[in-house]
């Protein structure tokens, strides 16, 4: 499975510009023939405009479904459309939508863990579900940025079956080494491919770090981006997943009755 990670530098609080930019980058990425294209977190507004947030946000995922879903269908490619600031029932969520090659919505996920150090919990509502779905016959899951610090969430997906973990983020430059360590750990402990599609550029005083990454189930790095806007490609061969899981069968050897969470 070939992945294309769009490490996007979005315009702060300007959804019109960001939708146009995202669609242009998706079409550019598709020229290389990927199976899955990924966008970063809250690419429609950046992370995140506190003034007039609801007015700048999508509503009921309407625009992302209409424009990015239509593009998935037209190009015949799976798209994990990062996440967008999104209003539903009068409340703002950090919402990820995933489309298959026919442009069908296969998953909608609201960010579960909101980043309290930057006050995200004061402006967004928490989600309440786990995001598992299938793309081209492979078991996939998506989490958003801060979610990666909570291994219980990813392991919940993995015990149900997980081949690819997609992480969409707005991760700051100062903590990129932590992001790399966390992503590698999620790949190894869950014996899955794990990738993070990060943003870049500056929003307010925060510099976002880029360095989008892809790891295989053994924790070997397959690809890494630089600090600026770019499209990162990675070829992932899932044919060895079963061998890895049979060689070190952590899922068979788990003792869940002892785990008190």
Active site residues: 41, 111, 145
Give the three-class secondary structure for 18.
helix
Query: What are the φ and ψ backbone dihedral angles of 123, each rounded to 5 degrees?
Result: -120, -25
Give the three-class secondary structure for 9.
coil
Element (H, E) at 86: strand 84-88
Task: Residue 224: name the closest of 65, 7, 52, 67 by CA.
Answer: 7
Using CA atoms, how far apart are residues 99 and 59, in angstroms rounded to an integer?
A: 17
Beta strand pairing call for 78-80 and 91-99: antiparallel
């Amino acid at each position: 499975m070939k992945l294309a990670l769009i490490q996007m530098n979005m315009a702060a609080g300007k959804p019109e510009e960001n939708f146009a930019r995202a669609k242009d980058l998706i079409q550019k990425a598709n020229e290389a023939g990927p199976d899955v294209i990924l966008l970063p977190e809250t690419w429609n507004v950046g992370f995140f405009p506190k003034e007039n947030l609801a007015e700048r946000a999508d509503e009921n995922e309407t625009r992302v479904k209409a424009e990015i879903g239509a593009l998935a269908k037209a190009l015949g490619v799976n798209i994990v459309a990062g996440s967008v600031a999104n209003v539903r029932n009068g409340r703002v969520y950090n919402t990820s939508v995933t489309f298959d090659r026919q442009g069908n919505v296969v998953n909608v996920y609201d960010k579960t863990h909101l980043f309290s150090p930057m006050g995200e919990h004061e402006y967004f509502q928490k989600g309440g579900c786990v995001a598992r779905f299938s793309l081209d016959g492979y078991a996939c899951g998506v989490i958003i940025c801060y979610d990666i610090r909570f291994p219980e969430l990813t392991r919940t997906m993995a015990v149900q079956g997980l081949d690819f973990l997609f992480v969409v983020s707005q991760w700051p430059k100062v903590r990129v080494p932590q992001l790399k360590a966390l992503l590698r750990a999620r790949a190894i402990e869950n014996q899955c491919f794990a990738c993070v599609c990060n943003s870049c550029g500056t929003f307010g005083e925060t510099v976002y770090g880029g360095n989008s990454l892809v790891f295989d189930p053994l924790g070997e790095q397959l690809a890494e981006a630089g600090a600026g806007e770019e499209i990162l490609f990675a070829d992932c061969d899932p044919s060895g997943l079963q061998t890895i899981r049979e060689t070190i069968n952590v899922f068979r050897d788990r003792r869940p009755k002892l785990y008190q969470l």
